[in-house]
Amino acid sequence: MRIGIVCYPTFGGSGVVATELGIALAAKGHQVHFISYSQPFRLDTFSGNLFYHEVPVANYPLFEFLPYEISLTSKLVDVVMHQNLDLLHVHYAIPHASAAFMAREILKSRGKSIPFITTLHGTDITLVGRDPSYRPVIEFSINMSDGVTAVSDSLRKDTLKYFDVNREIEVIPNFIDPENYGKASDLCFRGMYAPNGEKVLTHISNFRPVKRISDVVKVFEKVHREIPCKLLLAGDGPERGNVENLARELGVIHDVIFLGKTKAIERILCMSDLFLLTSESESFGLSSLEAMASGVPVISTNTGGIPEVNIHGYSGYLSNVGDVDDMAKNALSLLKDDQLIKQFGEQAKMRAAMFSMKEILPMYEAMYSRLTGLPLD
């Protein structure tokens, strides 16, 4: 099949999922065309089946805001026509779903019919999409999509709660390739950050307010009072300054390491004892699944789709949003018991295997086949 994938190229779960999906589809023999304003950061592999089309946005002094959605729509029309695509799969509704709708209608007027699937990822529904300045367009483009998927049941329910949606939403969870995680790696330099055998707590995100990273620092400070430990923070974003100030105020800054926007996620996770995810709202929590796949138990909040991934008392522990005392207590119960943390790590890995690419990819392929009428080889 010839598939066009539209996604955000920047650091963020939706772009990661879209890119990994495209790479896996290409490995299975599909021809995959990524369409975005810059090369997706995880698209760092070569294959005869993988293509990338950049969306150029023409500027003009009249424009205070660049009309990206129009440029994306035109690019979609162009790529679908010239590459004779069978299907468009857009990740994150804003503005990808409405651009795909418009492209589909333009193509129809030119005699080319092509279905599009919208995959909802989280904040396109729970935070941004609900804003009155986006809502009518999001609602319309969800209803007009030929197929709609959500990455968790919680997100499916939120979509039905916040929008007047009159169509089916299929839950297809996020996935990982277990092969990529948890290998005893020669590149795992734990001693570089924890030279004296300190425990290593880790958080990875885009440092947006919704992640409540100040809670990560507060949990760390409570753990730090009782055992020697280090906090690895990977990613960057608007909360970085606040996080740094708080770590200074709490007197733990010397044991907090900012790793920036690194791609070496597996190398960070293989040095980690615990993963912290303190989000206010989270449709899935891909980073926690990556941690679990690496055998790292997760201390998280119980919001949104997180309980569909992290199982309380098995792969980690869940607490109410903001309950840093409970999170620190749970973290300490694992960090102080080598046998228990090992057991949780193994259970986390087993749980993550349920989200293996091998299980999830066929769900997308079945949907592609149903909507295009094309058989799967």
210 binds ligand GMT (CB under 6 A): yes
Token readout for 66 is 């660049």
8 A C-beta contact, residue 352 and residue 173: no
Task: Classify the C-alpha dihedral 127-154-303-235 as positive or negative.
Answer: negative
CB of 233 to ligand GMT, least distance (A): 16
CB of 119 to ligand GMT, least distance (A): 8
285 binds ligand GMT (CB under 6 A): yes
Does an H or E element contain 203, and which?
A: strand 199-204
Token readout for 75 is 């690019």
Contacting range for ligand GMT; rule: CB under 6 A; set: 186-194, 202-210, 220-228, 320-328: 202-210
Which residues within the stretch 160-189 sit at the binding site for ligand GMT (CB under 6 A)?
Answer: 174
- For 202, phi and psi rounded to 5 degrees? -135, 145
Contacting range for ligand GMT; rule: CB under 6 A; set: 204-212, 225-233, 239-247, 356-364: 204-212
Residue 95: cis peptide before it, omega within 30 degrees of 0: yes
Which residues within the stretch 86-105 sit at the binding site for ligand GMT (CB under 6 A)?
Answer: 92
CB of 118 to ligand GMT, least distance (A): 13
Contacting range for ligand GMT; rule: CB under 6 A; set: 8-16, 138-146, 217-225, 257-265: 8-16
250 binds ligand GMT (CB under 6 A): no
149 binds ligand GMT (CB under 6 A): no
Residues that bind ligand GMT (rule: CB under 6 A) add up to a total of 22
Judged by beta carbon, residue 106 or residue 237, the one nearer ligand GMT is 237
Judged by beta carbon, residue 8 or residue 220, the one nearer ligand GMT is 8
CA–CA distance, 139 with 231 (Å, rounded to integer): 41
Instruction: Please list the helix, strand and coil fractions of the chain in percent, rounded to the nearest 5, in that order.
Output: 45, 15, 40
Contacting range for ligand GMT; rule: CB under 6 A; set: 118-126, 194-202, 246-254, 327-335: 118-126
151 binds ligand GMT (CB under 6 A): yes
Judged by beta carbon, residue 115 or residue 122, the one nearer ligand GMT is 122
- For 353, phi and psi rounded to 5 degrees? -65, -20
Judged by beta carbon, residue 17 or residue 88, the one nearer ligand GMT is 17
CA–CA distance, 25 with 28 (Å, rounded to integer): 5
> What's the gap between Cα 300 and its chain centre?
16
CB of 94 to ligand GMT, least distance (A): 10
8 A C-beta contact, residue 163 and residue 135: yes
149 bridge partner residues: 119, 170
Options 77, 142, 286, 348; binder of ligand GMT; rule CB under 6 A: 286
Contacting range for ligand GMT; rule: CB under 6 A; set: 33-41, 141-149, 265-273, 276-284: 276-284
356 bridge partner residues: 176
CA–CA distance, 344 with 66 (Å, rounded to integer): 49
Does an H or E element contain 340, and which?
A: helix 338-353
CA–CA distance, 260 with 101 (Å, rounded to integer): 36
Options 73, 141, 272, 281; binder of ligand GMT; rule CB under 6 A: 281
19 binds ligand GMT (CB under 6 A): no
CA–CA distance, 313 with 319 (Å, rounded to integer): 11
CB of 281 to ligand GMT, least distance (A): 6
8 A C-beta contact, residue 232 and residue 294: no
206 binds ligand GMT (CB under 6 A): yes
CB of 303 to ligand GMT, least distance (A): 9
User: Which chain residues interact with ligand GMT by CB under 6 A?
Assistant: 8, 12-15, 17, 92, 121-123, 126, 151, 174, 206, 208, 210, 281-286
